[in-house]
Amino acid sequence: MPGNGSVLATHTARRALYERAGRTVVDLARRYYDSGDESVLPRAIASHAAFDNAMALDLAMGRSTNTVLHLLAAAHDAGLDYTLHDIERRSREVPCLCKVAPNGSSLMEDVHRDGGIPAILGELHRAGHLHEDVRSVHADSLAEWLKTWDVRGGSPSPEAVELFHAAPGCRRSAEAFSQSERRHDLDLDVAGGCIRDVAHAYSADGGPAVLRGNLAEDGCVVKTAGVDSSILTFAGRAVVTESQEEAAEAILAGRVQPGDVVVVRYEGPRGGPGMQEMLYPTAYLKGRGLGKVCAMVTDGRFSGGTSGLSIGHGSPEAAAGGTIALVEDGDRIVLDIPGRTLHLDVPEEVLAERRARATFRPRNRERTVSTALRAYAAMALSADKGAVREVPAT
């Protein structure tokens, strides 16, 4: 529901939001079961255009690379042909309109004061970056719900205006609906506020960008909003690790030096299995002052709090025969975010020799894997397909 993405957890405004969501669910159920209205079903609302709009919002906020994984998986289950190529195209079109920590100094409470998610969508809509032939569970058209909920638009509803005045309580509390603080005004500054218009965008490119090259033939992703402009292009010596744990140990032990590229492989959907977040290695790089002088490349994924040169979702993954399995210590890796490339600077004949003797299994890694995860790994596709399971036809 509008406001759900930004209203503060302990504010009384969230109670009204819950109640509105409950009423909407009951209404949708009655429309389907009592009146046979199939237009309210999830697959009737999901469309290629809707997924494209969702990706535009994510790019405009410079958000996590995890969105790429989840959107691809959701599109697969919705029966839609929405692919990494669509995300790649979108990433070149949509500017970054909102920077939130850790990519900037603003917090979600600032996003809320600026009008929340409807305000970001409103700016994208006014700039022609959204498809209009979509609908939601609470409105029959994009124009209808933006008119009601975008406080930067012409005539937002009094309910919307009041909702986005909700403010922090300025005291520690884990109790729901425990405070009703209200701001005196909204921040509608499109040039210098937290949410900006396209003319004053933080950058021409949005959030996750898709890179391709011989090290990730089917693509990999990086959160551009979290990368300092001084390291958008980077080349360094590979330090190869077979797991997140080994990567963490290598960083803490001083094996990783300025200019290095930490390679963390066999952490993809099949190799992990399950694709755990590379949270510790990225935190340790920052802690040792290497965040702006090193890069990390993995077939695993990253936390939404990650910043820096963190290249994830390398596909095909190592366990599926990807080139990342062939990297050796000391190899030169070159990445170019503006050029959207990731390249292993090793002659093709040398890679062919390495491939001929590769086992595509991690070396000397001890990890207990449950039966459920082993079953998942047997059917898992690489991250460029959303890490979904490919169930045999027979």
Write out pLDDT tens, residues 87-108: 999 999 999 999 888 778 899 9
**Helix, coil or strand: residue 221:** strand
Q: Are 273 and 375 in contact (CB under 8 A)?
A: no
Mean pLDDT of 21-37: 96
Q: What is the pLDDT of residues 192-201, one digit of tens each?
A: 999 999 999 9
Q: What is the pLDDT of residues 284-304, one digit of tens each?
A: 999 999 989 999 999 999 887
Neighbouring-strand partners of residue 234: 335
Neighbouring-strand partners of residue 223: 208
Mean pLDDT of 161-189: 93
- Residue with the two structure tokens 């790429």: 68
Is 90 exceeded by the pLDDT of residue 208? Answer: no
Distances (CA, A) of 102 to 185, 227, 265: 26, 11, 25
d(CA 249, CA 234): 23
Band of the pLDDT at 206, cuts 50, 70, 90? low
For residue 369, what are the contacts with CB-CB under 8 A and spacing of at least 6? Answer: 273, 377
Is 90 exceeded by the pLDDT of residue 123? Answer: yes
Scored b (16 or more CB within 10 A) or e, 52-68 reads: bbbbbbbbbbbbbbbbb
- The predicted pLDDT at position 173 comes to 87
Provide the percentage of residues in the chain whose pLDDT is more than 90: 81
Q: What is the pLDDT of residues 263-280, one digit of tens each?
A: 999 999 999 999 988 889
What is the reported pTM? 0.89
Q: Are 48 and 87 in contact (CB under 8 A)?
A: no
Is 90 exceeded by the pLDDT of residue 63? Answer: no
Mean pLDDT (the chain) is: 93
Is 70 exceeded by the pLDDT of residue 321? Answer: yes
Q: Are 334 and 261 in contact (CB under 8 A)?
A: no
Rounded to the nearest 5 percent, the helix, strand and coil shares of the chain are: 40, 15, 45
Mean pLDDT of 27-42: 95
Domains of the chain in sequence order: 12-200 (no CATH), 208-385 (3.50.30.80)
Is 90 exceeded by the pLDDT of residue 57? Answer: yes
Is 70 exceeded by the pLDDT of residue 78? Answer: yes
CA atoms within 13 A on the CB side of 124: 30
Is 80 exceeded by the pLDDT of residue 306? Answer: no
Q: Identify the residue with better confidence: 204 or 361.
A: 361
Is 80 exceeded by the pLDDT of residue 207? Answer: no
Catalytically active residues, by annotation: 303
